[in-house]
């Protein structure tokens, strides 16, 4: 059977739980009324925006989640042109930032320094929230677009490290930037319980380094574009058939994938779900919207219901 990549609706789907309407069961009771002790979710904005903009984009979602979670917004480390449609609403909210290269004009940087900068940005946001008096457990990641791609990649790095003899501490101790500095100087290892991926596209990014983990299905942190496409030098990089067969590129940890059915990139978002997430580990939420965060009450409730369910299942709440 030929896979029709021009029609997103024709793409094969992974075995997932699909949410199209709010479930009838009652939500779990909040674990704390103290805003400083609620479980915390680290939020990762899309490319070409920033933490301030993402907080505004999440305003309805955060309000509905407030009884259960404290949302903390991290700022990407690299300056960027504004993302699509950002200037129409947030022209005065720069500087705009990105987590990864997504245009040829973005300055080249080594894989090690990309990972170092990302980890330091995450550590800074988490440390600042600790300094503000927050004590809740860090339980989840929530990302939009490039931030969702990064969130899934962080979960994959965690999965690989947890399966290694040294665990998460090994990743902290062994990963250094090009100057030899530890990439996580401010942060004790965190074991994320789940990730919420809004419009996240394939492929996953290898944040471990080729010496630690290698797969032709993962892109490099310094790379522009998608896997199985020409790299920065114009050479075609096909998937290795043994990598595909091994399944070692698959993410097993719990994820919720939020797809806008009017998003022109939905085929890429479905590819992340279908190709990179183990069937049974992921929940799919679909809503009638484009490439943005949902704002209408009914759409937001779909996401909240799925988040609360995975949080309860993983012991986060």
Measure the CA–CA gap between 135 and 16, rounded to whole angstroms: 34
- Listed in sequence order, the DSSP H helices in the chain are 51-57, 59-65, 87-90, 111-131, 146-162, 167-174, 241-246, 266-276, 297-313
- Do residues 254 and 310 lie in contact, with contact meaning Cβ atoms separated by under 8 Å? yes
**Residue from 198, 249, 257, 291 carrying the catalytic annotation:** 291
CB atoms within 10 A of CB 302: 20
- Do residues 279 and 14 lie in contact, with contact meaning Cβ atoms separated by under 8 Å? yes
End-to-end CA separation in angstroms for the chain: 44
Let me know if 92 is a catalytic residue: no
Measure the CA–CA gap between 153 and 203, rounded to whole angstroms: 9
Three-state SS for 3-66 is CCCCCHHHCCCCCCEEECCCCCCCCCCCCCCCCCCCCEEEEECCCCECHHHHHHHCHHHHHHHC
Handedness of CA 261, 266, 272, 275 (dihedral sign): positive
Let me know if 233 is a catalytic residue: no
Let me know if 291 is a catalytic residue: yes
Residues in contact with 185: Cβ distance below 8 Å, sequence separation at least 6, in sequence order: 120, 123
**Residue from 263, 271, 274, 299 carrying the catalytic annotation:** 263
**Residue from 62, 111, 129, 145 carrying the catalytic annotation:** 145
Measure the CA–CA gap between 91 and 70, rounded to whole angstroms: 27
Catalytic residues: 145, 263, 291
């Amino acid at each position: 059977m030929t896979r029709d990549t021009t029609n997103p609706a024709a793409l094969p789907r992974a075995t997932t739980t699909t949410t199209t309407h709010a479930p009838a069961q009652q939500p779990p009771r909040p674990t704390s009324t103290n805003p400083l002790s609620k479980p915390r979710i680290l939020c990762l904005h899309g490319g070409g925006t920033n933490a301030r903009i993402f907080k505004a984009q999440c305003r309805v979602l955060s309000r509905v989640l407030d009884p259960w979670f404290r949302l903390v917004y991290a700022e990407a480390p690299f300056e960027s042109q504004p993302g699509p449609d950002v200037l129409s609403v947030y022209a005065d909210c720069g500087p705009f930032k990105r987590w990864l290269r997504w245009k040829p004009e973005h300055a080249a940087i080594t894989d090690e320094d990309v990972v170092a900068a990302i980890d330091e940005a995450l550590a800074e946001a988490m440390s600042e929230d600790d300094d503000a008096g927050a004590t809740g457990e860090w339980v989840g990641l929530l990302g939009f677009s490039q931030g969702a791609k990064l969130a899934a990649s962080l979960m994959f790095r965690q999965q690989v490290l947890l399966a290694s003899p040294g665990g998460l501490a090994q990743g902290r101790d062994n990963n250094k930037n090009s100057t030899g500095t530890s990439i996580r100087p401010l942060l004790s290892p965190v074991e994320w319980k789940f990730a919420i991926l809004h419009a996240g596209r394939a492929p996953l990014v290898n944040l471990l380094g080729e010496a630690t983990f290698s797969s032709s299905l993962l892109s490099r942190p310094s790379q522009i574009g998608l896997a199985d496409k020409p790299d920065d030098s114009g050479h075609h990089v096909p998937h290795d058939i043994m990598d595909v067969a091994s399944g070692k590129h698959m993410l097993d940890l719990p994820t919720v994938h939020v797809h806008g059915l009017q998003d022109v990139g939905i085929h890429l978002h479905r590819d992340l779900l279908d190709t990179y997430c183990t069937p049974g580990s992921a929940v799919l939420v679909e809503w009638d919207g484009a490439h943005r965060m949902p704002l209408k009450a009914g759409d937001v409730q779909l996401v909240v219901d799925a988040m609360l369910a995975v949080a309860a299942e993983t012991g986060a709440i």
